[in-house]
Amino acid sequence: MVNNKKLVTVLAIVIASIAVALLYGNMNGSGSNSTTAGNVTVGSLAPDYGFFLGNSSETNLSSYRGHPVLLWFVATWCSTCAQGNQALNSNYQFFRQHGVKIIELELYKDLGYSGPSINNFVYSYAPSAYSNGTVIPAYAGYNMTAEYDPKGYLDIYYLISSNGTVLYINGAPASTAGQLEQAVNAFA
C-alpha cells in the first residue's frame, strides 16, 4: 500500500522540479543582463545577507569578495538538488581552477519539509567537492531566502563576480552544467 503523505511529497518534488526547469532552465542562454529571479537581477549588486555555515559560524556574502561565488539555494529533500551535487562533485576541479567558491545554502527551514542537515546532504552527494572545500554548506535565513527565492523554487543558483555583481542566474545545475561552465568561462 502506498503511503499518501509520501506520494504527495514525491508529487510536490516532481512538480517543483518541472517548475524550476521551465522557469529557469533556459533563462540565460543569450547572456542577457535583464534576467531576474525573485528580487535579484543580473547586473545588480548581490544582496549581502548573513548566513550560517554548516559548522554553525556566521558569515555574509561580502566576506567572499575577491572570489567569484556560486550561491546555490537547495532543499535537502530535493532530488534535483541531490543530482546537482553529484554533477558538481564530478566537475569540482573546474570550479577550483577558476577560483569559484560554491556556497550551497539550505533554503530557510528546508521550506517546511524535513531532510538531512546541509552538511550530511552535501557530503552524501558531493563528497570530493565537500572534502576539499569547493562546496561550502550553509543555511539561509528567512530574509535571504525571501530576497533570492521568494516563491520557494528549488535548485536556484546565482553566479556572482569577485566584486559582488550578479552575473548569471539559472537553476538545476545537473541539467544546466554546460551553461554554467560557459558563464564561468565568460565572466569569472
* Candidate from 6-20, 41-55, 89-103 with smallest mean pLDDT: 6-20
How far is the CA of 89 from the CAs of 75, 123, 167, in angstroms?
17, 10, 22
The residues pairing with 41 across neighbouring beta strands, listed in sequence order, are 36
The Cα–Cα gap between 130 and 127 comes to 5
List, for residues 73-96, the tens digit of each pLDDT value: 999 999 999 999 999 999 999 999
Q: What is the pLDDT of residue 25?
A: 39
| Strand, coil or helix: 86 | helix
Locate cell 560557459: which residue? Answer: 182
Q: Are 46 and 166 in contact (CB under 8 A)?
A: yes
Longest dimension (CA), the chain: 54
Q: Are 47 and 40 in contact (CB under 8 A)?
A: yes
Say what angle helices 4-24 and 79-90 make with each other, to 10 degrees.
50
Q: How many domains does the chain contain in total?
A: 1
To the nearest whole percent, how much of the chain has pLDDT over 70? Answer: 79
Question: With 90 as the cut, is the pLDDT of residue 15 above it?
Answer: no
The boundaries of the domain holding residue 176 are 4-187
Q: What is the pLDDT of residue 28?
A: 36
* Candidate from 8-22, 29-43, 100-114 with smallest mean pLDDT: 8-22
Helix, strand, coil share (%) of the chain residues, nearest 5: 45, 20, 35
List, for residues 163-181, the tens digit of each pLDDT value: 999 999 999 999 999 999 9
Query: CATH code at 174?
Result: 3.40.30.10
Question: With 70 as the cut, is the pLDDT of residue 118 above it?
Answer: yes
